[in-house]
Amino acid sequence: MKSLNDRIDAAAREQGFVLVGFARLRELPRESFYRDWLADGRAGEMDYLAREPERRLDPKLRSVVSLGYPYEAPRVPEIDWRRELRGRIASYALGQDYHRYVLDKARAVAATLTGSRPGCQARVYVDTGPVFEREWAREAGIGWFGKNTNILNRERGSYVFLAEIFTDVELDGSVQPYDDYCGTCRRCLDLCPTQALAGGYLMEPRLCISYLTIESRGPIPVELRPKLGNWIFGCDICQEVCPWNGEGMSPVNDELAPRLPELMNLDEEGFRRRFRASAIKRTKRRGLLRNVAVALGNSGNREAVAVLARALETEPEALVRAHIAWALGRLGGSAALRALEKRRIREADPSVRGELADALNIICA
């Protein structure tokens, strides 16, 4: 007769999970690090990370089932993004928002547990609750904590969504922890454009392109804007360069490189219609267009001036106008100068006026 672990594993595989592990819950020895991390302000604008710290450190249940659901990382089309004015989005954001379907699949796995132990607790999370997903994934033996701070698995790399089922049922834990296979490799650290990764398996979130383009809701620091390149939602660089992800033979997906002028022209209704089922909706329209403006400014292509100049006149969000002004200052030229001077006359928002002045100073210097 199959053990409960085996039945849960079989149910998870049936739902498409490729990594399944089990761990007995204990209080994680991370309290000092976690509280210092918060005190240093490393959470940035991610205030939710400070909520319910006790539940993160000690879930007060008995066992966890850690699951990994794969997602594809298609190849990027071979294009000159500056000439074609194309952005980049992280692979995980392609298609339907993963929170929806991975959570449904994890709940189906949890049903095997509750069906076998009526009345038991089974709390299911997919990047949505106060739990240390990666720490429990490591405890459950489905991978190791990589230098890029992702969970890595020798067969699956890091292109997996993590899910967890916390329960008061005592499940047998994994036999042994997953070894660390990063070795002396430093590709992710050395090739991160903002140097967000540091030795000791640490990340400075406030420098991470994913944080800057998704979690940060205010102005992107001026000194970091050029380092974003054409990333407008997330970043895959530390995964793309990881040897454990390999080069792969996935087909090219044109949606990884959307056309920036099209996005710059989106109104609120157009944004909702295009991204209503996508993880990209998390940025909201103003966040995405802020990022698009930065990418256009980084393109060095003055063909972007026309779309930016139009948006500077019609854009209702001050945050977006401020980044458009910066982009026009980066691109320069007489058309950009005229657009900036025209807007300066009627701009009321002080933050935008500051960006307009800085951009004009750059062009006129």
Residues annotated as catalytic (active site), given as ranges: 127
C-alpha angle with apex 221: 216 to 224, nearest 5 degrees? 105
Question: Contact at 8 Å (CB) between 90 and 233?
Answer: yes
Evaluate whether 104 touches 121 at the Cβ level (below 8 Å). no
Give the 3-state secondary structure of residue 303: helix
d(CA 251, CA 157): 18
Q: Are residues 16 and 181 in contact, defined by beta-carbon separation less than 8 angstroms? A: no
Element (H, E) at 68: strand 63-70
Q: How far apart are CA 247 and CA 292, in angstroms?
A: 28
State which amino acid sits at residue 171: L
Rounded to 5 degrees, what are φ and ψ at 157? 65, -135
CA distance 229 to 165: 38
CA 154 – CA 73 distance, rounded (Å): 16
DSSP category for residue 40: T
The token pair at 52 is 């319910």
**167 close to 206: Cβ distance less than 8 angstroms:** no
Are 123 and 115 contacting, i.e. CB atoms less than 8 angstroms apart? Answer: no
Q: What is d(CA 307, CA 66) in angstroms, rounded to the nearest whole number?
A: 47
Phi and psi based region of residue 3 (left: phi greater than 0; alpha: psi -120 to 50; beta: remaining) = beta
Quote the Cα angle for 39-44-47, to 5°: 80
Q: For residue 302, give every residue at least 6 positions away whose Cβ sits within 8 Å of its Cβ, in sequence order, or none.
A: 331, 332, 333, 335, 336
Select from 198, 195, 189, 181 the least CA-distant residue to 143: 181
